[in-house]
Structure 1
Amino acid sequence: MFNLVLFGPPGAGKGTQAEKLIEKYGFNHISTGEVIREQIRKGTELGRSVQSYIEKGQLAPDGLVIDIIADYVAKHKDAKGNIFDGFPRTTVQAKAFDEIMEKNGTPVSVMLSLEVPDEELVKRLLLRGKESGRADDSNEGVIRDRIDVYKAQTAVVADHYKPQGKHRAVNGLGTIDEIFGRLCQEIESLNK
C-alpha cells in the first residue's frame, strides 16, 4: 500500500492536488481539516471542541487529530493507497502516526512537501476566501497567523521524515497541471 503525506502550508494547493492524484492513482484521501470542518458544520462534540482553535488560526489538539487518523487507518486497510492531507501537523502527531501505520503494517511511503512563498499563499487564500466563503480564508491577519503557526509547529515535521529518506520538496508554483506533473514524477519514481 502506498501512503502519501501531502504536506505544505495553508494555500499550497494540497486539496486541489489530492483530487487530481485520487483520480489518477485511485488512492483514498483523508483531509483532517475537512473532517474537522464537517464536524463543526454538524455541531458535533468534536466540532464544538475544536471550533475555537480553528477560528483563531490555531491547530486542533494533537490527541484529537491522532484519534481521527487512527480510526481512518483502521477502516481503510485494504486501500490501494492513501493520501494524508494536513496530517501530521506536529512532531508529536508524526511520531504517533508512524506508530499507527507500523501497527497496521502500512508505513508512510513518502512525504511530498509543496513549497510556496508566503506572499503567494496569502494571495491564494484570500482568493479562496472570496470564492468559498470560508471565514479562516477571508482575513489576512488570520491567514498570516496560520502561516506563522505552520512555520513554527508544522514545517518541523519535515525534519522527522528527512532522516528516514521519506521527505521530498516539490515546487508548488506554476499551473495546477505543472505542479501535478511534478508530484506524479515523485510518486512514479518510488513505484518503479
Structure 2
Amino acid sequence: MDALTTSFLISFGVIFVAELGDKSQLMALTFATRYRAMPVLIGITVATAVVHAVSVGLGFGLGAALPTEWITLIAAIAFLGFAGWTLRGDVLTENERQKAQRAKRSAIIAVTIAFFLAELGDKTMLATITLATQHGWFGTWLGSTVGMVVADAIAIVIGQQLGKRLPEKAVRYGASALFAIFGVWLLVEAITQLV
C-alpha cells in the first residue's frame, strides 16, 4: 500500500471513530431536524475541510521540527487522552442547541460557521494534528475530512429518519477503547524507538 493510501485510511478511521458521539455529531443531528440534509452536509464539509487543513499544516510543521520517537510518544499520550475524553463523553449545551435551532440565515452558512467554531480545539482537530506529524499531509487531510463528514452524514440520516441519537453509551465505550488501543500501540512503538 502506498503512503497516500495508508495516511488516508488511518486518518479516515481515527477521525471517524473520534467523531462518533462527539459534540459536532450531536450538532449535525440537531441541524438535520431543522434543515434538509444536503445543505447541512455541505456546511459540515466546508468547515471540516478548512479546520483540518489548518490542523494538517500545524501537524506537518511539528513533524518536521521534532524527532520521530518523541512525536510517537506525544501521539501515544494524545491518543490515551482522547480515550479518556471520549469515555467522559461530549454533550451539547442548551445554549449550543438553541443556537443551532435559531439559525435564520442560509442553512449552509449557519452550519459552516457553527461547525467551524465547534471544531476549533476539538479532539478531532487535535487528532488530525497528531496524525499529520507522522503521515503525509494530503492523505491525512483528505482522510480526516472524509472520515468526519461520513460520521456526521450518519448523524444526519439518523436525525432525519429517526429523530434520535445513536446509543450514546455503547458508542462512547467503543470509541474510547479504540483510542486506548491506538494509544498503547503508539506507546509501545515510542518506547521501542527510545530504547
Q: Which range, TM-score by smaller chain?
A: under 0.3
Q: Which has the higher strand share?
A: 1
Q: When the two structures are superposed, what TM-score results if normalisation uses the length of structure 2?
A: 0.24
Q: Which has the higher helix share?
A: 2
Q: Which has the larger radius of gyration?
A: 2
More contact order relative to length (CA 8 Å, sep ≥ 6): 2
Q: When the two structures are superposed, what TM-score results if normalisation uses the length of structure 1?
A: 0.25
